[in-house]
Structure 1
Amino acid sequence: MYGSENNREDSERTAFRRAEKKYKLYYDNNASSKNKKKKQPKSVDLTEVLDFRSILQCHLQNGALPPGVIVLHDKFTSPVFSLQNHPGFYFIPGALNVEKQCSLIRESLVDFPQPPNRTNHNAMYGPVQDVFVAAKEGKVLVEDNSDSPKGWKFTTEKDASLRKCRSVSGSALLRKLRWSTLGLQFDWSKRNYEVSLPHNKIPDALCELAKQLAKPALPAGVEFRPEGAIVNYFGLGDTLGGHLDDMEADWSKPIVSLSLGCKAIFLLGGKSREDTPLAMFLRSGDVVLMARDARECFHGVPRIFTDKENAEIGHLETQLTHEDDLCFLKYIQTSRININIRQVF
């Protein structure tokens, strides 16, 4: 009876949803402890996951490519891969060197969540300054009733214990950070860009990087204009459900997606959720471009690997060794950051 129920539920799911379920993190229900940290994750069959790092290594050794994979040599300084059945999709394995990865990790935690950039915390607490620093220093965000209008501010743990007001630790805020927006601000409630919201331009260095990385997806002489970016933060068990990025005016321009931190599985589907998606690994330093037809394809992230064996961040651990970097290392050892840069208009 139970088997038939499960089969019926699977048949009612879309092909994309079935793939998400296949790769999502689940724990062994037979484990004696209810603590997820002590439970063993269920094993996942990864044999069908496309591995562009291995593809790159084989191609450099003997020129071999798996069926359906195309390599472009003339549009970038390193091999760029595309997919025969997904025009407009490009994958650049290891496009970011380790120094750039570490620099972007620091910026993503310290600078990018700073007001006027908005984060998922704005709805509850309004603009919050220096979340990462507060977490590092053990500070607590408390509701400040002395001002009008009421607001929130960081204080010491001792001072927070004396106040009879709502509070949340800086470390909890950092763990619950899910997104921040750079440049033109995206209004999630309206699902569009709200140009009237205060904002700063995307940092120049990130703009220049995005312009260079976008070249394989653009005709010669056409330049990418970075105007907005969304930074996603993933922790243990976090996922990004299948979706379309369809709020930008010109879909011929690519979304430039940078991966940092723990390895993930990325699903690239078709124009319908009923199309079976292709699964591929995303590692720290990989870059994905989605332009033209690929902009109409559902995509998502059903799994990140935070265990030491599969996270594959050893190169970051050997780089983030200075005392000032230990807090960044502690965060990224169990997290993934994804920076998506877009041309809005």
Structure 2
Amino acid sequence: MKAYKACEKRWKSSMIDDLLLDGALVDVRNLSTEQQKNVCRVGSWKWSQNLEERPVLGFDGFGKSHHGLCVIPSALDEITQLHFAHACLTEFVELPHLTNLHKQNHQFSGIWNQACESYPQNPSEFPLLAKLSWSALGYHYDWTARKYHRDKHSPVPESLQQLGKKCAAACGMKLAPEAIIINFYKTKSAMGGHLDDAEFTMDHPVISLSLGSSCIFLIGGQSKDEPPLQILLRSGDIVVMGGVSRRCYHGVARVFPTRCSLDFYKFDAISRSKAHYDELEYVKRYLNSQRININIRQVYPGEISTSKKDSQTHSPQIAIN
């Protein structure tokens, strides 16, 4: 069995509490003394002026395959995470964007509102929402043909453009955000090791934001013979795969329920009304057992973008009617 596959199998079959104590696991928010020797600060990051500056960690020291791999621990505060998650569950899954449900000929509008009305204690149990696995914005990725088509696209929201560009710049890289894939993970779900090689340019990084439940992220080499680095990612962490790491196998070995860390006092302070409080609470309940992963990438060489002045999307805000 190849080293990457063996690692995936180990995470799927073992008790999560035991594996989280494994010294090989890289906890980006609590690096061991030995792991710190392989990590260096390569920059700094701040999503907005009123937030604390966060370090950008470079993982080059873990080996040649990880050159260009960067992680920004706690890149987004809890409130911003809620806003992005809410946008993913509302505007980012509606037409003209494309989801796996649209591909299966499910016609829907307002899926999140339906879920909250039908299953207020746990919106993730709403049957149609439970079937949602991905959404595509910008250039729509064809999962069957494993390619992009210039004539199939939707606008890239301004908030995701900013996120992609700022993350890349913080790592000393450049990115024109042209394609977004949002993955919706259920408890204990996984994504097998794969290469992101359908883009027409591989010279720009892939930006990956984690929201909600924690996961074990694996990133190996250019073949599955190489053992992967095992990284614990929590909500608000950002991974940037540039350089050599852009061409390496990676995936999610395990997702496990993790309670939303936004405390009651912060939660109460940002609520503008009872309806707004309830909306925030629904998102929080969803994230307690689910994981949302936003992937931002460039498809074509040069700045050929689907997100110019014709885009009518905006920064993620929780809107209450």
TM-score, structure 2 normalization: 0.79
The CA deviation at 1:200 is 2.5
Could you report, residue by residue, the CA deviation over 1:186-223 in whole angstroms, capped at 9, with x for unpaired residues? 111111112222x331111221122111113335xxx4
Q: Distance in 2 between matches of 1:238 and 1:316?
A: 27
- Between the aligned residues of both structures, percent identity stands at 33
Q: Distance in 1 between matches of 2:88 and 2:13?
A: 25
Aligned length: 277
Ranges in structure 1 where 5+ consecutive residues have no aligned partner: 1-12, 28-40, 140-168
Q: Provide the residue aligned with 1:33 in structure 2.
A: none
TM-score, structure 1 normalization: 0.74
- Structure 2 residue identity aligned to 1:89: L
Q: Provide the residue aligned with 1:249 in structure 2.
A: 200
The verdict on how the C-alpha distance between 1:332 and 1:45 changes in structure 2, with shifts beyond 3 A counting, is closer
The CA deviation at 1:66 is 2.0
Q: Distance in 2 between matches of 1:230 and 1:181?
A: 5
Q: Distance in 1 between matches of 2:231 and 2:141?
A: 28
Q: Provide the residue aligned with 2:288 in structure 1.
A: 333
Are 2:294 and 1:343 aligned? no
Task: Please tell me whether Structure 1 or Structure 2 has the larger radius of gyration of its CA atoms.
Answer: 1
SS at match of 2:252: strand
Q: Distance in 1 between matches of 2:160 and 2:116?
A: 25
Q: Are the equivalent residues in 2 in contact too, given 1:25–1:303 (CA < 8 A)?
A: no
The verdict on how the C-alpha distance between 1:42 and 1:133 changes in structure 2, with shifts beyond 3 A counting, is same
The CA deviation at 1:326 is 2.2
Which of the residues 172, 186, 211 maps onto 1:218? Answer: 172
Q: Are the equivalent residues in 1 in contact too, given 2:210–2:291 (CA < 8 A)?
A: yes
Q: Provide the residue aligned with 2:11 in structure 1.
A: 23
Which of the residues 118, 121, 135 maps onto 1:180? Answer: 135
Are 2:82 and 1:95 aligned? no
The verdict on how the C-alpha distance between 1:170 and 1:118 changes in structure 2, with shifts beyond 3 A counting, is farther
- If asked which structure has higher relative contact order (CA below 8 Å, sep 6+), I would say 2
SS at match of 2:170: helix
Could you report, residue by residue, the CA deviation over 1:67-96 in whole angstroms, capped at 9, with x for unpaired residues? 322221368753111122111110110111
Q: Distance in 1 between matches of 2:13 and 2:110?
A: 31
The verdict on how the C-alpha distance between 1:298 and 1:65 changes in structure 2, with shifts beyond 3 A counting, is closer
Which of the residues 97, 101, 112 maps onto 1:132? Answer: 112
Could you report, residue by residue, the CA deviation over 1:38-84 in whole angstroms, capped at 9, with x for unpaired residues? xxx784353221011013xx89xxxx962322221368753111122
Q: Provide the residue aligned with 1:6 in structure 2.
A: none
The CA deviation at 1:231 is 0.2
- Structure 1 residue identity aligned to 2:57: F
Which of the residues 223, 227, 235 maps onto 1:272? Answer: 223
Q: Distance in 1 between matches of 2:140 and 2:107?
A: 13
**C-alpha RMSD of matched pairs (Å):** 2.5
Q: Are the equivalent residues in 1 in contact too, given 2:68–2:243 (CA < 8 A)?
A: yes
Are 2:21 and 1:46 aligned? yes
Counting only pairs closer than 5 Å after superposition, residues 1-345 of structure 1 correspond to structure 2 as 13-24=1-12, 43-44=18-19, 46-47=21-22, 48-55=24-31, 66-73=36-43, 77-83=53-59, 84=61, 85=63, 86-138=66-118, 171-197=126-152, 199-219=153-173, 223-306=174-257, 311=258, 313-315=260-262, 322-345=277-300
The CA deviation at 1:291 is 1.2
Q: Distance in 2 between matches of 1:274 and 1:119?
A: 33
Q: Distance in 1 between matches of 2:75 and 2:189?
A: 25
The verdict on how the C-alpha distance between 1:299 and 1:249 changes in structure 2, with shifts beyond 3 A counting, is same
The verdict on how the C-alpha distance between 1:75 and 1:319 changes in structure 2, with shifts beyond 3 A counting, is closer
The CA deviation at 1:138 is 2.7
The CA deviation at 1:324 is 2.2
SS at match of 2:109: coil
SS at match of 2:245: helix
Higher mean C-alpha displacement, 73-82 vs 294-303: 73-82
